[in-house]
């Protein structure tokens, strides 16, 4: 028989259920506000636009929405340079818009997670402007990392650290001192050894918790604490070491005391608010340190995101992740795409080994087929999962953006990160037609490709086999099946080479990562498949790059 997909759709929740440990199996949708929906026609997405599309997210079947930064900012790094952590940037609206969005989300049964950027501020933050004005030796400078330079006249940076965006991690100011910025010069790093910094961020947490948010995604969660004395790397190739070793400015053990203090703040509030760590660490075992019972709740699994579409590699990272999380009692947190990496529909369309930033379109049909299969595999694994806006439409990266329209700050620095993140940030299409395919009435801040409308929500809604309907069905089945969601183990089944097969109670998942069809047992009733499946005489023929869900019950 031929089976595309089917689902027993439970009615979406209409009130915010306060069930315990909701975050252990939550599917959380990342909204990049400037690229989601534009309410006022200025070409830039905003909070009112997000609010208007909340019913779509409820109907999609996600549990929570994570909003990338919308705080007051000069936008030197797309809002990750925050000038005021208690204000909304006018391009996104105001605090009343944030309040209305949170209230509407709760009425629809959705939780709201906001981004928090504690490693650095904007150079336009009042603290930093005061530090510059008050000069060397002032108490205000102690809130950041100001140092005299090396060399006869202090003309050399204090150490050999490099910015993640390329070039030295230090900038010299007019009075001769240097300040540390692990990212852009407009993003000076806080000194977390200074008690005022901790006091301020605990106050910021309470401000947003009082507004009703349900959690925080912590940007550069691994970067707050620096090694004592800010030691040189000694000529090591920093870019090659990043993510592969403990660095003097990343993943220092002292960061965990910060999060223990934050957890105490969260525990002051009723309900179950959470912390999610963006923690790039050398191993999943190091990542597990961030989600110990008295620290954070979730940590993105970047090892999984970086794994190629290959059965053996995927099985290894799945096993290591579940094994690492089990002792600390934390859920695995799976992710395939976000605002900083090439969308997985494009990553998987290209040869392996190109990393997470790719400027090639690749075989788009192959990429979409693999992306759909990879999504079903991810959603079948124990724990929580994140979905990046537009992946439910099968959007590829826009790899042919003209250089003159690019806005990623890393692109203009010519070193460090390659600066092609704009490709995954192009505003998403809602309708087949219009000046910006339904994004807004005034165009879009990054140009959308011709034909973008054919991938839109309108074009895919109700269309059997579309990627949007696959996601809707997958999330409905995931919610309805008792053996899916939370857990810490899978039972691996025998399978042909290139195939992952595992059982979770009465649920069975088979993912064929190979280039040829394979025959496996028909494990029961098909719940969902990412592609066409044929069954006969107790066996199933699973096509290349296809994932199938069965229930044996």
Both structure tokens of 276: 């999610």
Residue with the two structure tokens 């996104």 = 92
Distance of alpha carbon 77 from alpha carbon 70, whole angstroms = 12
Percent of the chain as helix, strand, coil, to the nearest 5 = 30, 15, 50
Q: 67 and 114 in contact (C-beta within 8 Å)?
A: yes
DSSP-derived secondary structure for 409-428: HHHHH-SSS---GGGGTSPP
Three-state DSSP class for residue 158: coil
Which residue is catalytic, options 126, 199, 228, 268?
268
d(CA 150, CA 58): 56
219 carries an active-site annotation: yes
| 8 Å CB contact between 187 and 120 | yes
Residue pair 262/203 in contact (Cβ under 8 Å)? The answer is: no
DSSP character at residue 415: S
Q: Give the closest residue to 474 by CA, choosing from 377, 343, 347.
A: 377
341, 424 Cβ separation under 8 angstroms:
yes
Tell me the C-alpha distance between 31 and 79, whole Å.
Answer: 13
The Cα diameter of the chain in Å comes to 83
Structure token pair of residue 494: 């025998």
Which are the contacts of 193, defined by CB distance < 8 A and separation ≥ 6?
A: 225
Q: For residue 373, how far is the Cα from the chain centroid? A: 19
The residue whose two tokens read 């790397």 is 233
Locate 388 and state its tokens: 């990046």
Q: Which parts of 159-228 are beta strand (E)?
A: 170-172, 178-180, 215-218
At residue 166, φ and ψ (nearest 5 deg) are 100, 150
Residue 10, token pair as written in the block: 């439970």
Residue 469 falls in the annotated catalytic set? no
DSSP 442-488: T--SSPPPTTGGGGSHHHHTT-TT-HHHHHHHHHHHHHH-TTSSS-S
Q: Which of 63, 81, 214, 219 is catalytic?
A: 219
Residues 6+ apart with CB under 8 A from 207: 85, 86
Q: Distance between CA 51 and CA 34 in Å, rounded?
A: 13
Residue 77: CB atoms within 10 Å: 22
Buried/exposed 182-216: b ≥16 CB within 10 Å, e otherwise: bbbbbbbbbbbebeebbebbeebbeebbeebbbbb
Looking at the DSSP bridge assignments, the partners of residue 504 are 507
Catalytic residues, by residue number, are: 219, 268
């Amino acid at each position: 028989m031929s089976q595309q997909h089917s689902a027993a759709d439970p009615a979406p929740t209409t009130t915010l259920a306060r069930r315990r440990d909701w975050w252990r199996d939550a599917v959380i949708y990342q909204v990049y506000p400037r690229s989601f929906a534009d309410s006022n026609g200025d070409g830039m997405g905003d909070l009112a636009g997000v609010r208007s599309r909340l019913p779509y997210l409820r109907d999609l079947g996600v549990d929570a929405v994570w909003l990338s930064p919308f705080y007051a900012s000069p936008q030197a790094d797309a809002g990750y340079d925050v000038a005021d952590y208690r204000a909304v940037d006018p391009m996104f609206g105001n605090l009343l818009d944030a309040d209305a969005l949170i209230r509407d989300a709760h009425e629809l049964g959705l939780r709201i997670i906001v981004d928090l950027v504690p490693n650095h501020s904007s150079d336009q933050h009042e603290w930093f402007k005061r530090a510059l004005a008050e000069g060397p030796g002032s108490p205000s400078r102690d809130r950041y990392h100001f140092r005299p330079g090396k060399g006869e006249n202090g003309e050399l940076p204090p150490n050999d650290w490099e910015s993640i965006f390329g070039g030295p991690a230090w900038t010299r100011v007019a009075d001769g001192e240097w300040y540390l910025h692990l990212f852009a010069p407009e993003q000076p790093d806080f000194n977390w050894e200074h008690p005022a910094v901790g006091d301020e961020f605990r106050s910021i947490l309470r401000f947003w918790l009082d507004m009703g948010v349900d959690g925080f995604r912590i940007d550069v969660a691994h970067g707050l604490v620096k090694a004592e004395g800010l030691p040189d790397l000694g000529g090591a190739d920093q870019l090659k070491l990043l993510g592969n070793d403990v660095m003097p400015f990343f993943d220092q053990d002292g960061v965990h005391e910060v999060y223990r203090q934050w957890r105490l703040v969260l525990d002051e509030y009723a309900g179950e608010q959470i912390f999610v760590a963006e923690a790039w660490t050398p191993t999943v075992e190091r990542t597990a340190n961030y989600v110990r019972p008295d620290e954070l709740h979730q940590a993105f699994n970047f090892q999984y995101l970086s794994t190629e579409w290959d059965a053996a590699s995927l099985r290894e990272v799945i096993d290591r992740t579940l094994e690492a999380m089990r002792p600390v009692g934390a859920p695995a947190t799976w992710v395939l795409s976000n605002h900083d990496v090439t969308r997985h529909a494009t990553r998987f369309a290209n040869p392996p080994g190109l990393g997470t930033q790719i400027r090639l379109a690749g075989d788009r049909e192959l990429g979409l087929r693999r992306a759909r299969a990879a999504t079903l595999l991810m959603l079948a694994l124990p724990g929580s999962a994140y979905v990046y806006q537009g992946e439910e439409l099968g959007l590829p990266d826009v790899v042919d953006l003209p250089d003159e329209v690019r806005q990623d700050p890393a692109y203009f620095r010519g070193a460090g990160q390659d600066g092609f993140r704009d490709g995954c940030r192009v505003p998403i299409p809602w309708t087949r037609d219009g000046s910006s395919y339904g994004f807004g009435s005034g165009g879009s801040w990054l140009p959308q490709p011709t034909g973008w409308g054919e991938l839109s929500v309108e074009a895919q809604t109700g269309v059997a086999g579309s990627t949007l309907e696959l996601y809707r069905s997958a999330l409905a089945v995931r919610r309805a099946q008792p053996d899916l969601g939370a857990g810490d183990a899978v039972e691996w089944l025998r399978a042909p080479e290139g195939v992952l097969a595992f059982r979770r109670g009465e649920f069975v998942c088979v993912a064929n990562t190979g280039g040829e069809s394979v025959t496996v047992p028909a494990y029961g009733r098909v719940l969902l498949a990412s592609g066409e499946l044929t069954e006969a005489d107790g066996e199933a023929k699973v096509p290349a790059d296809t994932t199938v869900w069965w229930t044996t019950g």
